[in-house]
């Protein structure tokens, strides 16, 4: 055995994602170079701390990728706050201008998968996507009639204020995600995997929570998705 096995992988193929392929192929190359220069057997080399990759090696690999102009997508607020130069800017809710109207003449600004069947609800859409917004609602209370528009399906960002929401519209996840589980436990109407177009913070909306709960095992059927209509 004369090198890392992965370099002689008969059935290997590139990773799906650009960042993963860049990192892993860079690491493989570095390991192979260091091993070849060592003059040791693989068994000796793999257990030799002096030949191990270091933090500086990994920092250089990241720097090499960033030097190409690549910028990462973020998922946690803290990541982009601490290193904004490494991340792409956050995209907000778009507005195509192509919204259709419902049977009552109201613009449909989104649809989603209903977690459980409740009754339709009118309220004020409030975007709850940052620690600062949550902290404000924690300290000053959640305004009555808030339908929280949340862009992640986790249960932690909104943990201390979730119970105060009249309804939830989540732009990610599935009905089995943690936020779906929690809203069901709290009996708070909730849409998951919502796709929004033209919804703005503060809009008055009606959410079609009366739709039957989404079948987690069924193929997507747009006609079964609950609609979000703009009242004003």
Residue whose CB is less far from other proteins, 145 or 172: 172
- Positions in 16-75 near other proteins (CB under 8 A): 16-17, 19-20, 23-24, 27-28, 31-32, 42-43, 46-47, 52-55, 58-59, 61-62, 72-75
78 binds other proteins (CB under 8 A): yes
Mention every residue, 6+ apart, whose C-beta is less than 8 A from residue 181: 155
- Positions in 82-141 near other proteins (CB under 8 A): 82-83, 86-87, 116, 129-131, 134-135, 138
Residue 53 Cβ vs other proteins, minimum distance, rounded to whole Å: 7
Residue 185, Cβ density class (10 Å: 0-12 exposed, 13-18 middle, ≥19 buried): exposed
Token pair listed for 169: 């519209």
Taking CB under 8 A as the criterion, the residue among 40, 79, 107, 145 binding other proteins is 79
Residue 172 Cβ vs other proteins, minimum distance, rounded to whole Å: 6
For residue 100, the tally of other CB atoms under 10 A from its CB is: 8
Residue 151 Cβ vs other proteins, minimum distance, rounded to whole Å: 7
Which of 185, 184, 182, 148 minimizes the C-alpha distance to 164?
A: 148
Question: Alpha helices of 128-177 — where are they, by DSSP H?
Answer: 131-140
Which of 55, 66, 61, 50 minimizes the C-alpha distance to 28?
A: 61
Residue 106 Cβ vs other proteins, minimum distance, rounded to whole Å: 29
């Amino acid at each position: 055995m004369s090198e890392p096995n992965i370099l002689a992988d008969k059935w290997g193929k590139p990773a799906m994602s650009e960042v993963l392929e860049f990192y892993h192929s860079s690491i493989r190359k570095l390991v192979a170079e260091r091993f070849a220069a060592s003059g040791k057997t693989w068994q000796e080399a793999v257990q030799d701390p002096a030949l191990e990759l270091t933090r500086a090696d990994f920092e250089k690999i990241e720097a090499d990728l960033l030097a190409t102009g690549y910028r990462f997508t973020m998922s946690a607020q803290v990541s982009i706050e601490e290193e904004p130069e490494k991340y792409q800017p956050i995209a907000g809710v778009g507005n195509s201008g192509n919204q259709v109207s419902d049977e009552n003449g109201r613009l449909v600004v989104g649809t989603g998968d209903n977690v459980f069947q409740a009754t339709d609800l009118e309220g004020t859409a409030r975007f709850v996507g940052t620690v600062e917004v949550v902290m404000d609602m924690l300290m000053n209370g959640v305004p009555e009639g808030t339908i929280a528009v949340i862009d992640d399906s986790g249960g932690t960002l909104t943990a201390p204020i979730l119970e105060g929401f009249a309804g939830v519209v989540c732009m990610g996840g599935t009905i089995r995600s943690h936020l779906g589980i929690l809203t069901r436990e709290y009996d708070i109407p909730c849409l998951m995997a919502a796709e929004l177009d033209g919804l703005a913070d503060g809009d008055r909306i009606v959410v079609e929570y009366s739709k039957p709960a989404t079948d987690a095992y069924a193929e997507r059927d747009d006609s079964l998705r609950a609609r979000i209509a703009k009242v004003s």
